[in-house]
Chain A
């Protein structure tokens, strides 16, 4: 029992260190520029929150993009009306996403299984269409919500002299682009990870896992599952709202396409790819997908020619032709294949892959099989 506590602390500290040092260890992979790092952190938050619902309760929501979108709109409005400071923007984003999650969750959780998924999808598409058309005064429709010079920015107007051009987002004067922007997101990601860790280890988390395992028995233990499910739904919606508001903090505009079903699908992929119901998996999945989207997609045939230049010319051309299908615009193909491989061979996602690898290695190192397998179990 004592040892487990130690393990959680180490896990958390290792995680925090790995996130804060991302600019260093991601440099060799060509992924250490701030814009991408910010995306890693933001979508990591989105996926952690999604996993609290999907991973713990097994309820598959297809509508989490709605909360992402609302978070962004709320943040941009905070920039327009009050201040360019990131803190109120984030608070508004989380709050409004939470309110929307309460409404959508209350209605959708009347059903379970596929019907729940369809309901969440329907509500998210409804939100998307509203943002696109009816709510144009709030969302600025097709164009998307942007900052303008005419914005009141009431709080800023009281304290700061209005400069030339559009102001930039900041945290009490520190500008929220570049590495400082990344570190703001990174600290929030670490806090979110901590919250998720605590939820996983709490009675609340165990109850949610009970609901996933056997909702019928859960009812016959005397638990009213509805409010617990709703709490999980709202928490995960608030994480999504936080992620949405951070997207606006790093780039202050919000568009309806952020609410589209493809964005909801993306977070499902991230979670499954990394490992549903694991603590780290969703963040790994988010990182991997964003890496593919941003780095892999920019590989072109010139890079491939360089890479394969050691081959004879004709062979080089053929190899480049074939591999060219999988990079650049073809990155979706690679990702799709990867996804299929993971789902078929590693239902526990990348995390399961690492666990198997670790087991394999530790077995090789020490022939004493029983002690090593015991160790692996307690480490999970």
Chain B
């Protein structure tokens, strides 16, 4: 099946006796949006941490487009085309929105090492234009010159999304990208994510909001107590009695 782009094989991770991930197997299709849902503490963020090299799994393998990611450093994984939006926004608080967005583009170009102290930022017009376009897309172009730390929580998430999008990743991992957003902002984000879907980017999205999941996901997997207990089309998963018992029953009003 050559249309599978990401394989998580037998991933296990323990934290001092706590079993966070117990033998997770997951295969993600190219160009699709795959949602992972599950109750708090199920191990969803831990799973993404294993994918991007923030945590090393105790056993198991992560294979992305034929390359093994386990054992690589975060920047190497990012250079292979994996970008991540964190559960609490990781941005450059002291820098402007434009600088925040330009930095990933610079890293993408000069990531390994390019000593460039005698070029000026002003001469980086390509990167500057690109960053402005992306900020436009996420609706932050007007605040371009502002310091990122002054943004609202929802805007910080959007900025972080812009910082990931400018990397033009092949795999985008989103950890609760709409948490803390108003309904209006949430809908805007859904629209934006649906728009970039056309670019053929594969996405894994962790989400609590069922509205977001059913608007975006092609496929849904349910993670509970470190195990995938169900996987399938959104409608099927919604109807699955096992899932209802483990998770949805409590979460859906």
Contact = CB atoms under 8 A, between A and B. Distances in A.
Contacts of B122: 1, 4-5, 201
Which of B106, B110, B111, B117 has the most chain A CB atoms inside 10 A of its CB? Answer: B117
A216 B117 CA distance: 23
B103 A207 contact: yes
Interface residues of B, number: 37
Given A206-B99, A213-B93, A213-B94, A220 B117 contact: no
B74 A219 contact: yes
Chain A interface main SS type: helix
B153 interface: no
Contacts of A202: 116-121
A223 B115 contact: no
A221 B121 contact: no
B116 A220 contact: no
Given A1-B122, A222-B167, A214 B107 contact: no
B115 A204 contact: yes
A203 interface: yes
B78 A221 contact: yes
A117 interface: no
Nearest to B160: A217
Contact of A198 (B104, B110, B117): B117
Nearest to B163: A221
Given A222-B78, A222-B79, A214 B117 contact: no
Interface in B18-65: 52
A35 B188 CA distance: 66
A224 B110 CA distance: 9
Interface string B80-115: 000110000011111100010011101110111101
A324 B128 CA distance: 58
A195 B117 CA distance: 8
Interface of A: 1, 4-5, 195, 198-199, 201-207, 209-210, 212-214, 216-225, 227-228, 231
Given A204-B116, A207-B110, A217-B163, 20 more contacts: A5-B122, A198-B117, A198-B120, A202-B120, A203-B110, A203-B124, A210-B99, A213-B94, A214-B93, A216-B90, A217-B92, A219-B74, A220-B75, A221-B75, A221-B103, A221-B108, A221-B167, A222-B108, A224-B111, A231-B115
